[in-house]
Amino acid sequence: MEECLEPCFNIVLVAPEIPQNTGTIGRLCVCTDASLHLIRPLGFSLDEAHVRRAGLDYWPYLNLNVYENWDDFLERAQPGRMIFCSTKTERSLYDYRFQEGDWLVFGNEGHGLPVEFYERYRDQLFTIPMPGIHCRSHNLANSAAIALYEGLRQTRFSVR
């Protein structure tokens, strides 16, 4: 994989609740040269064994940033293009044209994105198509992997 000077992508988790998901996403970020941004409140301590176990020995290499709330994130991170992944839209993730440096935003496992985001960012909402009829959503870590690898496929893994 070619080296990026800046993170090729940014994963943003808004108030994540399950430490194993965050650990797995942290490992995903290290493996793909992405940065992980966590927006408090967190449903766990970052010192928790479940986070470290899921992140394995990759955790020290993670470009991790933690913010007190959404406004703190916007002020300090100054994100560029943001895509919000949600089941509450009809627009397919596969219709989004990724660019390196994009910010992929995910809500938490129990409630998704904050309610006000659905209006505020409605033009930036995309969903992962799910043809199965017996499931509401993918696991958060799986969703992050699907979206991130679609971004990588479109930008870095294409034949040029």
pLDDT in tens, 5-50: 466 899 999 999 999 999 999 999 999 999 999 999 999 888 767 7
Return the bridge partners of 106, or none: 13, 85
Contact 127, 90 (CB under 8 A): yes
- Domain contains 118: yes
- Going by the DSSP 8-state scheme, the letter that residue 148 receives in this structure is H
Mean pLDDT, the chain, whole residue set: 89
The parent domain of residue 141 ranges over 10-155
Examine residue 89 and state whether it is found in any structural domain, yes or no.
yes
Provide the number of structural domains found in the chain.
1
* pLDDT, tens digit (0-9, with 9 covering 90-100), for 122-160: 999 999 998 776 666 789 999 999 999 999 999 976 543
What is the identity of the amino acid at 33? Answer: D
Burial class (CB in 10 A: 0-12, 13-18, 19+), 38: buried
Q: How far is it, in rounded angstroms, from Cα 60 to Cα 122?
A: 35
- Write the CATH number for 87: 3.40.1280.10
